[in-house]
Amino acid sequence: MSFSIEGKTAIVTGAANGVGLAIGRHFVEQGANVMFADMDEAALAREVVCEMTDEGPMRIFAGDLRKKLAVKNLLSATVDAFERIDILVNAARQVQHTDPLDPDDDTVSTLLEQNMFAALRLSQATARRMIKQSEGSTKGPVGTIINLSSIAARRTHPDLMAYSIATAAADQATRSLAVALAPQGIRVNSVAFGSVMSASLKGALKEHDEYREDILSHTPLQRIASPSEVCDAVQYLASDASNFVTGQVITVDGGRTLIDPAGCAAH
């Protein structure tokens, strides 16, 4: 059983910061070629460009992947740089608070577009590319798509209603695409995580130290995950070790979804 992704080419969205950036860097360390994609061109330049070389395994793409032209350009840029696409990691996620009693609050539609529809359209376009590049080949898997999800799909909090709805929709898109693409040899899975010590959570803990105790008291393993623990789960799904795994939402949450979530904010 091999967890190797060496020599494979991956697109990682949401890769300018947080868990997306950690996954991109982890993949490079594991020998993969990686296209770091994000809307935030300045952050990509700050975090990634300084580590790039002309012939190295890292490239960046800045663009709004809610737009069809940006999706097309991302795929073209990746193929131009690395000749093929083997892995797509949809790590771009937006979290916004919602007023659940305000009918004029459009956060649900905003997050559905960003967290579900944009990822779905990119997955469909990438799958077409994977199928095309595999024509004439009879060996090995065609490709794998991994979506980053959240325990918010199963554990609700009123302030995060829109995020929970969008995440649940994304999980169903994972399952539906997995069935649709299985005959073509493309696997589709998700990693749903709880509290991870990302830059945004670090900032939140600095401003609200009481969040830490709230998180720990609702997590059976009584700690916050490191980004590397999400990276390891994503690598497993990207590797040949998971060749018979598709349509699954793997939970990395320290047991948080196993206990009563009442009163627990979704940090």
Please give the Cα distance from 198 to 245 (Å, whole number). 27
pLDDT at 102: 86
pLDDT at 100: 82
User: What is the phi/psi pair of residue 25, to 5°?
Assistant: -65, -40
**The residue to which tokens 């790590």 are assigned:** 91
Q: Residues 72, 125: contact at Cβ < 8 Å?
A: yes
pLDDT at 177: 98
Q: Residues 133, 85: contact at Cβ < 8 Å?
A: yes
Please give the structure tokens belonging to residue 2. 């091999």
Domains, the chain: 9-258 (3.40.50.720)
Model pTM? 0.94
Please give the Cα distance from 86 to 35 (Å, whole number). 11
Going residue by residue through the chain, which has 267 residues, state the pLDDT in tens, using 9 for 90 and above.
689 999 999 999 999 999 999 999 999 999 999 999 999 999 999 999 988 888 899 999 999 999 999 999 999 999 999 999 999 999 999 888 888 888 888 999 999 999 999 999 999 999 999 999 998 776 678 999 999 999 999 987 788 899 999 999 999 999 999 999 999 999 999 999 999 998 778 888 888 888 899 899 889 999 999 999 999 999 999 999 999 999 999 999 999 999 866 555 545
pLDDT at 261: 60
DSSP-assigned letters across all residues of 32-89: -EEEEEES-HHHHHHHTGGG--TTSSEEEEE--TTSHHHHHHHHHHHHHHHS---EEE
